[in-house]
Structure 1
Amino acid sequence: MILKRIMHSLGMLLVFVANQGLAQQNFLTQLKSPIIFKGDEKTAYRDPAILFYDKKMYLFFTLVRTEEGKVYSYTAMSESKDLKKWSPIKIITPKDMSLDFCSPGNVIRYNNEWIICLQTYPRPNYLVNQMPKFGSGDARLYIMRSKDLEHWSTPEIMKVKGPEVSFKNMGRMIDPYLLADEQEPGKWWCFYKQNGVSISYSYDLRIWKFFGHTASGENACVLYENNEYILMHSPKNGIAIKKSTDLIHWEDWGNLITLGQQQWDWAKGRITGGVMVNLKKNKNFGKYVLFFHGSGPKTEEQGDFDKNASIGIAWSDDLIHWDWPNKH
């Protein structure tokens, strides 16, 4: 009887230890490849945006597909609990070449709903033999709303230059990113690509006021840590970082981030579109987690823009030294 109780207790202990190990596993080190979604001759995965919520990673991105000789862009999403198994890709924007909603920046929580910011990238009558074709001057910024991160509202334009500025006079703008002001609750910043990175602010996500701009690449991602703003952006190739304490004066910081590009044929053309989330305090990650997209082996100008673009992942403790699956 005593032996039976000992064996039972030992079994319970082993189950507890196993469960603890499962709960504390590092999802990053279990990955076998830096590629999350792999593009091909008819598909491109670009411009990732990340929301980590309720123990899930929600990945939003541009999905470009060649369909019957034409090229369409969509905003799509997928989710995962462990970074290995991802849900079926779901398109959340309409099929419309005159708009081509794409390049989601991030997702925020506002007034008991989720808000995603994104852009249009109009390329009317875009045929596959015209690759690459870049978006027109009518590219503008939008938001969409959701109660459940699954069903999304009709896009609403963001008049980030101010309500008095007409659609025509707003100018070409892409790659929005929203950030709550840490010192002034209720104030929101929008960073977007126009004249470098431009910055506007709002108290209701409807009426915006232009603030200023600074030299920068595209695909802005901004964190606020230790009383300073960390701006991650994409120059011609790679991912760079700038820092500021006041959103006015910016200084380049760190090294150009190109990760394993020299060894990755799938990213030889360009690494860009970086977005990071600080999960250093989460036991399953413990790092800054970076999502990005790589295109190749050709450059975007040579054609690997709307095809052969893939979403990848890397991570870091300090934004200087980076690791990724199968790093040698």
Structure 2
Amino acid sequence: MDIKQLYNPVWKRSDNLRDPSVFKGSDGYHLFYSRYSNNDWTKPENWSVAHVFTKDFIHFEDDRDISAKGFASPGDVIRWSDKYILPYQSYPDVPTMLCYSISDNLINWSEPVYFLEEAMDLPWNQAKRVIDPTFVADGERLHCFFVGTDRLHYKSPTNLVGHAYTEDPQMKKWIITTVDSPLIGACDEAPDGAENVTVFNNGREWVMIYSEGLKAQHLAYAVSPDLLHWRKQGRIEVPEQDWMTTRYGAPFVWKDSDCWMMILMGEDKEGHTSFGLLASQDGFNWDILREQ
């Protein structure tokens, strides 16, 4: 990928593109995303997890759904127990639940397997919904960051980030570390909470970048030595471009050659969502690609 040849947004379609996740393979990039169609948020048939392949973020091929209708928000693809694992969620039917699919080749994926159902009953997850799973494999331990919602104790529905981990190869026994309170909650800059976590290790510490706020969504980040204890660092400033004038979020970060890359969902003034790219040398300070 030659970022000097790229313009934002790098990919847009007639459908709304949401929640990007990238797996860099030996021959190119597997881009997973939520396909949202027909501008009706409430119908399961308007949602699916999709996959497209690109070698350069200029030409895209084999764009297709890899889930049934009624699923969304793919997270990090990981290698676990010698398989590729892709987490995502059911959506929008209640209860909204976490699930994952398994693949040998990143192309053909299994039917959804539901997991971490106990997160619906956390005391701070008043709405009993669990969304936006992110997997991080660290040695023999698999971490899952997720989002719950409280519709009772705040002025508006508020999304809150939780955390669990497992050392079970079958991914059935989980330890939730955020039983009593969320890992990330509401704050002055985001009274309606946070969502869409991406986590990576910069060689010195773990870095979490996430969507802060829902109505006035933007990026913020936190750092950790161990994936358990996090220090919030505040907002990440991103220059505004036309494809993201209304709001932006759902970041995903990966290492590409000598820099870090971030793919981001942006919403324009017409309410349409597409994807753009940013680059960073340190994972903290980000340069946005030029706009076409």
Which letter does structure 1 place at the counterpart of 2:84? W
Deviating more after overlay: 221-230 vs 199-208? 221-230
The answer on 1:214 being equivalent to 2:211 is: no
Whether the aligned pair in 2 keeps the contact of 1:160 and 1:210 (CA below 8 Å) is: no
Picking from 67, 70, 85, the partner of 1:115 is 85
Which residue pairs with 1:315 in the alignment? 279
Taking the aligned partners of 1:121 and 1:106, their CA distance within structure 2 comes to: 18
Gaps of 5+ in 2: 149-158, 186-193
- Distance of 2:121 and 2:248 partners within structure 1: 37
Q: Secondary structure at the match of 1:88?
A: strand
Indicate the residue corresponding to 1:35 in structure 2.
Answer: 9
Q: Which is richer in strand? A: 2
Q: Work out the CA distance in 2 between the residues paired with 1:231 and 1:247.
A: 9
Query: Which residue matches 1:93?
Result: 67
When normalised by structure 2's length, the TM-score is 0.81
Query: Which has the larger Rg?
Result: 1
Q: How does 1:13-92 map to 2 (within 5 A)?
A: 27-31=2-6, 33-40=7-14, 43-66=15-38, 72-92=46-66
Matched, 1:176 2:133: yes
Q: Supply the distance in 1 between the matched residues of 2:235 and 2:126 (Cα, whole angstroms).
A: 36
Alignment partner of 2:4: what SS? coil
Q: Secondary structure in 1 aligned to 2:5?
A: coil
User: d(CA) in 2 for partners of 1:188 and 1:293?
Assistant: 26
The structure-2 alpha-carbon separation of the partners of 1:210 and 1:218, relative to structure 1 and needing over 3 Å to count, comes to: same
Q: Give yes or no for contact 1:254–1:320 (8 Å, CA) kept in 2.
A: no
Match of 2:262 in 1: 290
State the match for 2:222 in structure 1.
242
Letter of the 2:236 counterpart:
L
What is the CA-CA distance between 1:77 and the residue it aligns to? 0.6
CA-based RMSD: 2.8
Q: 1:209 is matched by which residue type in structure 2?
A: I
Decide whether the 8 Å contact of 1:34 with 1:314 is kept in 2. no
SS of residue paired to 1:214: coil
Quick one: structure 1 residues 162 and 48, their matched pair in 2 at CA, closer, same or farther if it must change by over 3 Å?
closer
Q: 1:273 aligns with which of 240, 250, 253?
A: 250
TM-score, normalised to structure 1, is 0.73
Worse-matched range after superposition: 195-204 or 44-53: 195-204
Distance 1:163 1:323 in 2: 38
Contact in 1 for aligned 2:88/2:100 (Cα 8 Å): yes
Task: State the one-letter code of the partner of 1:257.
Answer: E
- Residues 104 and 268 from structure 1, CA distance in 2 versus in 1: closer, same or farther, beyond 3 angstroms? same
Comparing both chains, which one has the higher relative contact order based on Cα–Cα distances under 8 Å and sequence gaps of 6 or more?
Answer: 1
Q: Helix, strand or coil for the counterpart of 1:290? A: strand
CA distance in 2 between counterparts of 1:72 and 1:258 reads 30
CA distance 1:221–1:68, shift in 2 (3 Å): closer
Question: Which has the larger helix fraction?
Answer: 1
